[in-house]
Amino acid sequence: MLKLYDIPTARETILRRDPQGETAYPSGLLQSVERIFGEGIDPEGAVSVILDSVRREGDAALRHWSQQLDAVAPRAWQVPAAEMEMAFDALAPSLRAALELAVKRIRAFHARQPVTSWTTDELGGRLGQRVTPIGRVGVYVPGGSAPLPSSLLMSVIPAQAAGVPEIVVCTPPRPDPVILAAAHLCGIEAVYQVGGAQALAAMAFGTESIPRVDKIVGAGGLFVTLAKRHLYGQVGLDGLAGPTETMVIADESARPAWVAADLLAQAEHDPLASAILLTPSRELAQAVQAQVARQLESLSRAEIIAQSLERRGGVVLTPDLETAASLADEFAPEHLCLAVSDPAALADRIHNAGGLFLGERSFEVLGDYVAGPSHVMPTGGTARFASPLNVLDFIKITSIIALDDVTCRALCEPAAEIARAETLSAHAASARIRLEGEG
């Protein structure tokens, strides 16, 4: 079930990163798309059709595509506030308490992120940066095979911490009550039941019922990711989310049952999810293999887990922890869990990871729900240059330039000199004229 790999084989299989955009679509998916959109249309072409029709036809296109793709077209796109409140009131007390705890911790974490305007007069006049929140943000919450209220919390609360005045949530038709309850708990009033590429188009372009937003955040399936690619430049985006992934580095001190449980938790997300263990201990590797097989028997999503572990999971045997850390840094995983005796020391070797989970009691599931940081993290190796969703994703920085007369005159000739080097004579003249007097 969970295969053992040497490093060269792992590099060619489970540790290999395929180039972005090179997707081989399953034949069943292609046939399904062609049935709806016409012969020769692939998923990318289908998304282009959806986006263009929503841009031109607004709500009418939303209704058409919701009926075609979700088999339901709601009479009203916006979910009534009373329905969200009823969903919240109907929560089991234990679930309500858990969600309230999650909200409290996520809000407290993001409230501590330092984001401030500043100015200085040490460079002549006044220079600085003015920080302002984005005016209107759209949050996409997927429906898929399971309701994900945590995705709503992890996207909405950082935006609120940044001071975003208006937040719009879109989620597929007939949303699960727990999604509505989470929205009510966060104080969200605008929840629209529309999903997929058509939801992103509605938020990017605006329709009669759904307002245009300035930035869209939130993960989704293939069609949502393709829609983001098409909408780049039209609206702000948080990134292109790929299949989720966890990498665990463990030594002989780790508990095999705990490591196995963490790998299984990751694999149950999606058949394309990655759950990879790096360890120098063959004894631990074999014990984790046995635990995975034992624990899998009692899990409700065993079929999905089995597919994930077969396609994208495994154990890589390394000569030492330093090599494991180097491999992890090269892979740049979304989540990197350090189940080792001295996690802090090993963490110093890691530069590329969406989230670092230090020690076996800081396991990923706590990060998914209640630890505090947003669980929206960079996937597909983008942790080399991208960050988890945070308050900075919801603010804009405006440069402030208010130079005094002395500084202005001192800078004009250097500016003109650079302008002449660039053969931009009007730039040079604009600087020189300041030196020639007020006329």
Nearest partner of 241 among 278, 273, 195, judged by Cα: 273
The residues that bridge with 236 in the sheet, in sequence order, are 215
Bridge pairing between strands 4-5 and 118-120: unpaired
Sheet with 274-279, edge to edge strand ranges: 4-5, 314-317, 274-279, 245-250, 335-339, 355-358
Q: What is the Cα 96 distance to its own chain's centre? A: 25
Residues 6+ apart with CB under 8 A from 203: 138, 140, 168, 170, 210, 212, 213, 216, 235
360 is catalytic: no
Strand residues in 293-359 grouped as ranges (E)? 314-317, 335-339, 355-358
64 is catalytic: no
Query: Among the options 245, 334, 360, 364, which is catalytic?
Result: 334
Identify the three-state secondary structure at position 191. strand
Query: Among the options 335, 360, 364, 375, which is catalytic?
Result: 335
Contact 259, 289 (CB under 8 A): no
Radius of gyration of the chain (CA): 25
What is the DSSP track for 77-117?
SBPPHHHHHHHHHTS-HHHHHHHHHHHHHHHHHHHTS----
Contact 250, 277 (CB under 8 A): yes
Alpha helix locations (H) across 120-254? Answer: 149-162, 177-186, 196-205, 222-231
Q: Which residues are catalytic?
A: 334-335
